[in-house]
Structure 1
Amino acid sequence: MTDLNLNAIRRRCETATPGPWMTGSYFGARTLGPAVAVISGNLPPIELDPLRNGKADARFIAHARKDVPALLAEVERLSAEVTELRHAAERARPVVEAALRQFDTGSNEDLHELDRAVVKYRGQQ
């Protein structure tokens, strides 16, 4: 895993104003025209400069309320899957080692041992 602190990200997400968030326009005191704003509940809007990619920024911020929890869930799902695959690889190690021994010696007994190991391994899944 990278140096992402998923717990810190989750805490920030859970303590943020609940969604849905949306984008809209309003006339700000410091602007010459309609400014893009992110509106959330009864909080004052965040002003974004419409001349400097404000609409795209507003969409990004508004979608973050749903996107971040979805991304956290996917990271956790993939982490669990990686852990399970590591465990499966560890369980498969004896089967692979038996197969390598069989190829080194070529004896029939090793083939039978490999077959038993594969059957046992398949039964564990």
Structure 2
Amino acid sequence: MNVKFAVTAFGLLLGLSSSCFAAAPVAQGVIRFTGSIVETNCASSAASSGLKLRQCPQGSRGGSIDVQRVDPMARSGLASSRVKVKLLADSGTQGRYYDQRYAFVDQAGKPLVSGTYLITLSVP
């Protein structure tokens, strides 16, 4: 009986000790991430009616739009007034994406319907 007890105890001891040693050692190190996480850009279109931004991610809200006149009239001083961007429509903050529509206006608030412009959209 003592032999059976000794064999059982020894087998149990080996079984438990092997499970304790089975764990792999924890490796230490540094993980470096280089790059950026990007999401698709807005679908944009510009015409004489203004600027349309469609399917923009909500994370890009708060960006700025800068418009500069680049045609020869701008250099002659005849059209040296600054171009402003006026928000006409916004689909809201609900949902993952949003749409916006803008108009280009002069200092007096009159819509601009002709000319050549450089439009810069900066997004956070």
**If the TM-score is normalised by the length of the shorter chain, which range does it land in?**
under 0.3
Q: As a proportion of its length, which structure holds more helix?
A: 1
Structure ranking higher on relative contact order (CA contacts 8 Å, 6+ apart): 2
- Point out the structure with max Rg over C-alpha: 2
TM-score by length of 1: 0.20
Structure with the largest fraction of strand: 2
